[in-house]
Structure 1
């Protein structure tokens, strides 16, 4: 990956700067941390004002979550998004907040029982962890540290070994375990050296077919060295902002597909040294891994573009019957797919069982002959018996 920002070094401790700023934000409202966002007031009615005032974000990824889903909120802060989600996913769903800041975690947990009592069910959990390392439960790591204080290199080595053990045996968020990962203006607070791992962790915890919905700050040019070396601009969601094209590529490089911008702030939130910073909300899906099988399935791209290319390199030409493998066919045609509105599915007349399907070469772009769909022996003649009567539903 070629991202200039990633390779530049900061001259201070980014994590310490961010932690200090947001600890202060948990105690006293910090208006400069907010990018104005409208939320559905119906979901705010049961949330205490203290949480609403001390929540900082730049979008509303909760809009894209459904009932019954399990959701992880990265950098959950005071808990506002989690408590909105608690209402949206309902009693059958689950909401997990992850944050590194004790002050914010205490504030979020403070009202858990009260909000659960109003809802009539308890479906939220808040964990201490780094969002770029969703394997390590920091509450468990700190509990070990209290029993085993570090005062030597040997002690440090033992602690690191214990952390590795916790990642294996008491993983904070298990692999392939959640439907949705959201985040609201937090990914930019992770130091650049850890951002690749951050996207890999988001991908790891999502189950097949799951999705990430991320609201964050992007910029139209790389931040200058002057911006990168300003601790206030780091904790203020500026210095760590993704260049807008690289933000999309981070999802692509992690293995996501169907990546789309759901919302982009028209006017920049801030302009510094001629560089524009604005909020975007992006959605990306997991699930294009796996074997490609030939089951004679076809899709027709509706248009309006003459042709389009997906994340696996498949080219779909407008109006043409394009051959796809079973995996790609279901990715395109699933009701929750980002592609479903753009393609017409053409299933085979006779289904090929999975256990007898041969391997399909997904690297090729091929037009599917109609006889492959209908079958070589298909030789019917059907005449419309309602001649002159176009009131029949069979008449076009």
Structure 2
């Protein structure tokens, strides 16, 4: 595969790692020091339970947060979670509250200064959350080398990452290592920066552009191919937000290239045995999604409503932690014209971004009842 995943003409890996450590450990002291808006908030509204969890994070930890979206997968209770490139630990402490005392969060980062902030506030957060013992720990290491960092194979239910994969000089190794440490049925749920096409070497070798999460951005189509090569399911696009560059010098270097912050979810599940579409019903048991579950940009499940899904998505739901949250119709069951259909939105994050900006996307508009009510009870 010819792409910019591991481009050999770029700087050596050690040099890139060193530059990133310096940028995030020394040059950036808060998010106000960033030169672009690559660290943009999620395009989707933040649920109340997540806002409450974010409010429980110490301000010093939040001040050193440089993420580009919101990485809060659903159905997290008692899960083992790994945060790739955890930085100061904001997302770890947020998710600590959602997995509960019986769950566990591990954050890994290569930047000692960021980890020092994260570790400083472990006791503070455990006392605040009322936990008898910490359910969070932090590991120094590289996201391309999880085995060397001592992370166990097939151990994690969910892996998250927030605007970090683009900073790696070897995206292939990152996804392979993520796949290795996930359990069967596990999920990689991450926000990152993507480019509208493959980037030239002068952009990829620029220190500031790399540090600002643009120089190392993948072309979004390369992510799809890479996921398949590693063994993941097809990446499912959740949401996307525009990235702008207001620095004249950097803007000139990037002339003709566009960037977007996008959230994808990838699953470690076997390939479906059939290509037949399936009918599923969401039972409504997920905290924060009691009435509707916004699984991705195409699929918003309503409680007790029949929805037609692809064989691949049905397989994902059946083989992952979501299995107990859905009722599955037998394969080949006849589809009613009243059943909800996936939304007709693009899998291209740049096109989705325009759709999100130009219209309010209503769930299940493909069904005979539209978004207002369901006749499939």
Q: What TM-score, normalized by structure 1, do the two folds share?
A: 0.65
Partner residue of 1:202? 178
The equivalent of 1:285 in structure 2 is 267
Find out whether 1:36 has 2:40 as its counterpart.
Answer: yes
Q: Does 1:91 align with 2:94?
A: no
Aligned counterpart in structure 1 of residue 90 of structure 2, from 77, 80, 83: 80
> 1:288–1:345: structure 2 CA closer, same or farther, 3 Å change rule?
same
Q: Does 1:61 align with 2:61?
A: no
Q: Answer 1 or 2: higher relative contact order, Cα 8 Å, separation at least 6.
A: 2
Q: Offset at 1:334?
A: 5.1
Alpha-carbon shift at residue 249 of structure 1 (Å): 1.8
Q: Among residues 161, 164, 184, which one is paired with 2:162 in the alignment?
A: 184
8 Å Cα contact 2:194/2:260 also seen in 1? yes
SS of 2:144's equivalent in the other structure is: coil
Instruction: Tell me what 2:294 maps to.
Output: none
Residues in 1 aligned to 2:154 and 2:168: alpha-carbon distance in whole angstroms: 23
2:330 aligned with 1:345: yes
Matched, 1:125 2:127: no
Aligned length: 287
Structure 2 counterparts to residues 96-245 of structure 1, below 5 A: 96-121=106-131, 122-137=134-149, 172-191=150-169, 194-245=170-221
Residues 292-326 of structure 1: per-residue CA shift (max 9 Å, x gap) = 7xxxx9955469xxxxxxxxxxxxxxxx9x9x9xx
Deviation at 1:73, TM superposition (A): 0.1
Query: 1:50 & 1:63 partners in 2: Cα distance?
Result: 24
Alpha-carbon distance in 2 for matches of 1:282, 1:269: 20
Counterpart position of 1:19: 21
- Quick one: distance in 1 between partners of 2:315 and 2:83? 28
Shift, 1:71, TM fit: 0.3
- After TM superposition, list the pairs within 5 Å mapping 1:249-328 onto structure 2: 249-265=225-241, 267-270=242-245, 272-288=254-270, 300-301=277-278
The DSSP-based 3-state class of the residue aligned with 1:62 is coil
The answer as to whether partners of 1:64 and 1:213 remain within 8 angstroms in 2 is: no
Asked if structure 2 preserves the Cα contact closer than 8 Å seen for 1:299 and 1:344, the reply is no
Query: Which entry has the higher C-alpha Rg, 1 or 2?
Result: 1
8 Å Cα contact 1:269-1:279 kept in structure 2: no
Distance 2:194 2:216 in 1: 9
Q: Secondary structure at the match of 2:235?
A: strand
SS for the counterpart of 1:10 is: coil
Instruction: Say whether 1:248 aligns with 2:221.
Output: no
Deviation of 1:232 (Å):
1.0
Equivalence for 1:45: 55
Q: Which string of whole-angstrom CA distances, capped at 9 and with x for unpartnered residues, describes residues 194-234 of structure 1? A: 22111100000000000000100000111122212211111
Unmatched segments (≥5 aa) in structure 2 = 246-250, 281-307, 334-376
Alpha carbons of structure 1 residues 25 and 80: separation in structure 2 relative to 1, 3 Å: farther
Question: In 2, distance between residues paired with 1:113 and 1:332?
Answer: 37
Change (3 A) 1:65 1:342: closer
Q: Choose 328-337 or 182-191, whichever is displaced more.
A: 328-337
Query: How is 1:332-371 mapped onto 2 (pairs within 5 angstroms)?
Result: 333=318, 344-346=329-331
CA distance in 1 between partners of 2:58 and 2:277 (Å): 50
Partner of 1:317: none
Alignment of 1:375-394 (within 5 A): none
Tell me how far apart the structure 2 counterparts of residues 98 and 224 of structure 1 sit (CA, whole Å): 30
